[in-house]
């Protein structure tokens, strides 16, 4: 590197660029957080949906599935499972309830989690709520 470009200049780019970027991120975050209510329909975030998120986390669903594209890529995307199952929370609950405890030989199979009816309804409502977030039209099709 040329001698005229000093270490001091490089340090100034680092400090200035770093601080500027962080401040920009903070202001964009402020804007994003204030714009989110338009997109995440939080008015529908009932205590039941919140319980569903807890059921989702306590059973480590993300350990196999993806949700809005993030997760383990081992099992289907669930951000749009509500639509894939014909706009039906009952079908989601039934699917989870009916998993064979022994699994299905020769293929990946979801375990039987023995959820209570309350938990089944809650997770179904959580997945319905998730499917109605404005995600810029993702996923590309119904298969997720």
Partner 1 sequence: MGREFLEQPTITKVGIVIVVLGFIFNIGMTVLSGRKTVVSVVLLTGLVGLAVFFLFSFYNPDNLVLDKYFWWWVVHLWVEGVWELILGAILAFVLIKVTGVDREVIEKWLYLIIAMALITGVIGTGHHYFYIGTPEYWMWLGSIFGALEPIPFFMMTLFAFNMVSRRRREHPNQAAVLWALGTAVMAFLGAGVWGFMHTLAPVNYYTHGSQITAAHGHMAFYGAYVMIVLTIISYAMPILRGQGNAASAGAQRVEKWAFWLMTVSMVVITLALTGAGVLQIWLQRMAEEPMSFMATQDSITFFYWLREAAGLGFLIGLVLYVYSFFVGKATTPARSAA
* Among the residue ranges 12-20, 85-93, 94-102, 114-122, the one whose residues contact partner 1 (CB under 8 A): 12-20
Give the footprint of partner 1 on residues 21-50 (CB under 8 A).
21-22, 24-25, 28-29, 31-33, 35-36, 39-40, 42, 45, 49-50
Among 72, 90, 97, 111, binds partner 1 (CB under 8 A): 72
Q: Under the criterion CB under 8 A, does residue 133 sit at the interface with partner 1?
A: yes
On the 0-12 / 13-18 / 19+ scale of CB atoms within 10 A, 35 is: exposed
Is the separation of the CB atoms in 59 and 51 below 8 Å? no
Q: What is the spatial distance between Cα 77 and Cα 62, in angstroms, rounded to a whole number?
A: 10
Among 59, 83, 88, 91, binds partner 1 (CB under 8 A): 59
Q: What does each C-alpha distance from 77 to 41, 60, 82, 86, 131 come to in angstroms? A: 21, 14, 11, 15, 11
Is the separation of the CB atoms in 125 and 55 below 8 Å? no
Q: Which residues bind partner 1 (CB under 8 A)?
A: 1, 5-7, 10-11, 13-14, 17-18, 20-22, 24-25, 28-29, 31-33, 35-36, 39-40, 42, 45, 49-50, 53, 56-63, 66-73, 75-77, 107-108, 129-130, 133-136, 138-144
């Amino acid at each position: 590197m040329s001698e005229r470009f000093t270490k001091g200049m490089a340090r100034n780019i680092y400090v200035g660029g770093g601080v500027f970027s962080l401040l920009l991120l903070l202001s964009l975050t402020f804007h994003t957080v204030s714009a989110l209510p338009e997109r995440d329909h939080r008015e529908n975030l009932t205590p039941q949906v919140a319980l569903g998120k807890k059921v989702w986390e306590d059973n480590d669903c993300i350990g196999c599935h993806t949700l809005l594209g993030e997760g383990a890529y081992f099992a289907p995307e669930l951000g749009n499972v509500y639509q894939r199952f014909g706009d039906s929370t009952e079908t989601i609950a039934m699917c989870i309830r009916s998993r064979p405890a022994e699994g299905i030989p020769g293929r990946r199979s979801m375990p039987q989690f023995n959820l209570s009816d309350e938990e089944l309804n809650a997770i179904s409502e959580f997945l319905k709520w998730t499917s109605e977030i404005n995600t810029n039209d993702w996923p590309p099709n119904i298969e997720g």
